[in-house]
Chain A
Amino acid sequence: MEPAVLTGEHYITGDVACAEGALAAGCRFFAGYPITPATEIAEHMSIRLPNVDGTYIQMEDEISAIAAVLGASWTGAKSMTATSGPGFSLMMENIGLGICTETPCVIANVQRGGPSTGLPTQGAQSDMMQARWGSHGDYEIIVLAPSSCQDTFYLTITAFNLSETYRVPVLLMTDEIVGHMSEKVIIPKAHEIKTVSRVKPKGRKDHFKLFKPGAKGVAPMACAGEGYNIHVTGLTHDEKGYPVMSVDTQAEMMERITGKIRNNLADISRTESYLLDDAEIVVVSYGVSVRTSLAAVEEARKLGIKVGLLRLITVWPFPDDLIRNLSEKVKGFVTVEINLGQIHREVQRCVGWKVPTFLAGHPGGTIIPPENVIEILKEAF
């Protein structure tokens, strides 16, 4: 056996940091299928997992990878997979199964340029709406976006903790740039890392209801082989887990799976702000684009532009109220992201027509140069 937490200072890629973060969070099962730029996560997990009493398997495609992850999660194992655009598309139906059956797991999407095969070796942030709405039906989901390798390490742990807390698949939306860059990553001592595991049921096994909300609106989770005779289905089901094809049951189930997220926004939503106190313009960004946004904000401040940065660590659920409140105080927003305006439109939705909103984006393949952001700041305000 090797230690699961490799305490110390490392110089590693974002992908490896993701794998190490997962192991530190207690992940013991990985099923995957190779795809650039996420492959290194699978490779690293294939080496590390058996040495920490975990299991790695390379499946025949991404559909089976996510299916195996869900199955493993129902045995109590913290489970994950990692992929990029095309594989993410293939996973969508079973991500919906995970949402509907309230199955904790983590899916890392190391984003590359799309659509289709797109730009396999170049970064983008253009799967952000797919992360929100890619599987059919209504739902709520938790999506985190790391900006650096150190961040990837910690946010992978957060992803597991949130997925275990809320019994929901959590998507870690990183990208090729962060995934493939190497940086210093400090891994703390094992006891300094906070890990969370799903709440287990107590009381009589024959009276147990697998989907009856407990604390925070989340049902305790029994697993396969524990003697609860659980039934798990992707059909609309009642608190017991039994399928019921009725309008009322649908409404109740939807309230359970969306309510547990919507009613815990304070716990789930994470943002960071920089120079926002006196800011007249807010740059909104997430993931790798936070780095260029930061450079742009610092440069613009030197030019006397009163600009600050709002970093979305949790991108979904979206911090509607935060942006709405800011929009009462400032003169405008610039969203920086490597796509054609996916989160920009969300900012617009929250701001309405109160103040102008701009996009510093492009279709993918590289970072947004800070100059592009400064240009908008200079010209628009």
Chain B
Amino acid sequence: MVQTNSRLQTKDPCHPLDDLIRTDRIPHIWCSGCGIGTAFSSCLTAIKSTGFDLKKFIMVSGIGCSGRAAGYVKLDSFHTTHGRAIPFATGIKLGNPELNVIVFSGDGDLFAIGGNHFIHAARRNMDITVICVNNLNYGMTGGQAAATTPYKAKSTTTTLGNPEDPFNLPLMAYASGATYVARWTMLHIRDLTDSIEEALSKKGFSFIEVLTPCPINYGRRNKEKPLDTLKLYQDNTIIKNGANPSEVDIDFEKGVILGKFVDEDRPTHGEKYDMIYRAVS
């Protein structure tokens, strides 16, 4: 927990992103050393750099530490139920296609309980941008194994090591039909911000995975101090734009591949629906 910032009482903005933050909701709940805040501010910077009308940006989150983003962003924002941010966002986009809809949520939310919605929204090429904060575990509930937890990693429910293999998220996004797929870590803040801006400016289903430390619940159990995780992000990653998504499994020993993997153009759900159902009549 952070101490209340007395500067926030003054009227002058004290951070370049203050106009996009509900400063009356600060302090936030994120632990010190948590990476979500960095991914969040990267997203806000990207939103600003698009130059689009801020009134038309909507952020939708599910449940989890990452899902709290919707509660801090000063945009129309929706904090929904666990796993259901994408279908909620789908309803918003279909209800008012003028809106730019961003889903900002966690790996557990988007790929375990909400995995089915992810693949279907990608298949439809729903015109939304999904940002997944992947901290390799369920942070909010205290560090249980997720569908992204590496093989043999420790968690409160895999105390001897995870017997399961994790999803390769970019591969799943690509295979399901996403037209934009990228992965960065929160340390690669410039690339990440550029990537989010690019995704927001692009039509169709865009997916960005952001590797993010959860020192409290993941790092602690896997012998990674907060700085160790950042060091891994720096030393054991390889930027390879255009890499084949089937070759980007997360393995820090081999080196984790980052970059933009997919950037295609295909008609969106809305365009196809309008063409088939609204053209004549």
A residues with a Cβ closer than 8 A to B are 1-2, 29, 31, 50-51, 55, 57, 59-61, 63-65, 67-77, 79, 93-94, 97, 224-235, 242-243
A2-B281, A230-B76 given; A242·B92 CB < 8 A? no
A29-B95, A76-B96 given; A61·B116 CB < 8 A? yes
- How many chain B residues touch A (CB < 8 A): the figure is 39
Q: Is the CB of B87 within 8 A of A71?
A: yes
B123 CB → nearest A CB, Å = 9
Residues of chain B within 8 A (CB-CB) of A243 are 71, 79
Complexed CA–CA distance, A232 and B90 (Å): 16
A60-B120, A232-B78 given; A73·B87 CB < 8 A? no
A229-B74, A231-B77 given; A55·B95 CB < 8 A? yes
Complexed CA–CA distance, A229 and B21 (Å): 10
16 further A-B pairs in the complex, CB-CB below 8 A; given A57-B90, A79-B91, A231-B79: A60-B116, A61-B116, A64-B84, A64-B120, A67-B117, A70-B91, A71-B94, A74-B91, A94-B84, A97-B81, A225-B55, A226-B55, A226-B76, A227-B55, A231-B78, A242-B22
Partner of B117, one of A2, A57, A64, A72: A64
Residues of chain A within 8 A (CB-CB) of B253 are none
Partner of A50, one of B87, B116, B273: B273
Complexed CA–CA distance, A290 and B39 (Å): 58
Q: Is the CB of B94 within 8 A of A29?
A: yes
Q: Is the CB of A75 within 8 A of B92?
A: yes
A158 CB → nearest B CB, Å = 23
A226-B55, A230-B76 given; A51·B89 CB < 8 A? no
Residues of chain B within 8 A (CB-CB) of A231 are 22, 70-71, 76-79
Q: Is the CB of A224 within 8 A of B117?
A: no
Complexed CA–CA distance, A73 and B84 (Å): 15
Complexed CA–CA distance, A60 and B92 (Å): 16
Residues of chain A within 8 A (CB-CB) of B60 are 71
Q: Is the CB of A68 within 8 A of B90?
A: yes
A135 CB → nearest B CB, Å = 11
Complexed CA–CA distance, A60 and B25 (Å): 35
Is B12 part of the contact surface with A, judged by Cβ < 8 Å? Answer: no
B18 CB → nearest A CB, Å = 13
Residues of chain B within 8 A (CB-CB) of A94 are 81, 84
A61-B116, A64-B87, A97-B81 given; A71·B95 CB < 8 A? yes
Which residues 241-281 of B sit at the A interface, judged by CB distance below 8 A? Answer: 273, 277-278, 281
